[in-house]
Amino acid sequence: MEQIKHIAFIMDGNRRWAKDQGLPSLEGHKAGYDKMKDVGDWCIDRGIKHITVYAFSTENWKRSQTEVDYLMRLLENALTKELYEFNKRGIRLKVIGSRDRLPKSVVKAIDNAEAETANNNKGILNMAINYGGRLEIVEAVKKIIDQKKSSIEVTEDLVSNNIWTVGQPDPDILVRTSGEQRLSNFLTWQVVYSELFFIEPHWPAFSEEDLDKIIEDYHNRNRRFGK
């Protein structure tokens, strides 16, 4: 049976979950953050060594300042106070996305977290923060231009070597929770051959059983890659 190398999550439905529970929307984000840690453990337990989560998109700046400020604090907390947990689990943390617009304290926390976990080798957690799939491709093109490559040198491999997830396998599976069925500018380059799963539970309600059903369904699919 093929080993799943990489799974990506669009962690949707935190606010809707909170509303269903009669809680403030910010509590939904906290529950979603806690769920991210659980799901990471479940994936590592199943031998999945690369995990990417959509933590904050380039479009999320449009939300209320109160919500944006809370999310930034939550992310900074994950990058500082949780470092012990990452190291204990042997997880390397990598943040993908643009550093532009991020608070200086968050950028500092990112740099420190990536350095502190650089030698961990049990798995990689990619946190997509201020991330957009199209922006990633634009930034890759800029890098290629800076390298003064000729048009004949531009290949898929060259682009792949200049995106933010360079050196990692593309996701085998992409999961979006909360019933929405779109990619929302996430991993635009990487998911062209990923198996897509759009499931009903809101992210904080995502369970270990849900993960196992997705993995079972994945192994029952016929991935032909155009053959």
In a domain, 136, yes or no: no
Q: What is the reported pLDDT for 225? A: 63
| Contact by Cβ (8 Å): 51, 5 | no
pLDDT greater than 70 at residue 227: no
In a domain, 147, yes or no: no
pTM: 0.95
In a domain, 121, yes or no: yes
In a domain, 149, yes or no: no
Cα(86)–Cα(117) distance, rounded to whole angstroms? 7
User: Is 203 known to sit in a ligand binding site?
Assistant: no
pLDDT greater than 80 at residue 184: yes
21-26 mean pLDDT: 93
Cα(193)–Cα(183) distance, rounded to whole angstroms? 13
Catalytic residue (choose from 41, 60, 120, 185): 60
Annotated catalytic, 121? no
Neighbours of 2 (CB within 10 A): 8
Q: What is the reported pLDDT for 32? A: 94
Total domain count, the chain: 1
Domain that holds residue 14: 6-131+170-220
Q: How does the average pLDDT of the chain come out, rounded?
A: 95
The tens digit of pLDDT for each residue in 134-151 reads: 999 999 999 999 999 999
In a domain, 163, yes or no: no
User: Is 90 known to sit in a ligand binding site?
Assistant: no
pLDDT greater than 90 at residue 164: yes
In a domain, 190, yes or no: yes
| Contact by Cβ (8 Å): 55, 93 | no
User: Is 12 known to sit in a ligand binding site?
Assistant: yes
Q: What is the reported pLDDT for 91? A: 94
- Predicted confidence band of residue 126 (pLDDT cuts 50, 70, 90): very high
Cα(179)–Cα(191) distance, rounded to whole angstroms? 19
Catalytic residue (choose from 12, 170, 172, 210): 12
168-180 mean pLDDT: 97
CATH of the domain at 189: 3.40.1180.10
- Predicted confidence band of residue 118 (pLDDT cuts 50, 70, 90): very high
Annotated catalytic, 12? yes
Cα(66)–Cα(82) distance, rounded to whole angstroms? 23
User: Is 58 known to sit in a ligand binding site?
Assistant: yes
User: Is 101 known to sit in a ligand binding site?
Assistant: no
In a domain, 75, yes or no: yes
In a domain, 159, yes or no: no
Give the whole-number percent of the chain exceeding pLDDT 70: 98
pLDDT greater than 90 at residue 76: yes
Q: What is the reported pLDDT for 59? A: 96
Output the CA torsion sign for 27, 8, 60, 96.
Answer: positive
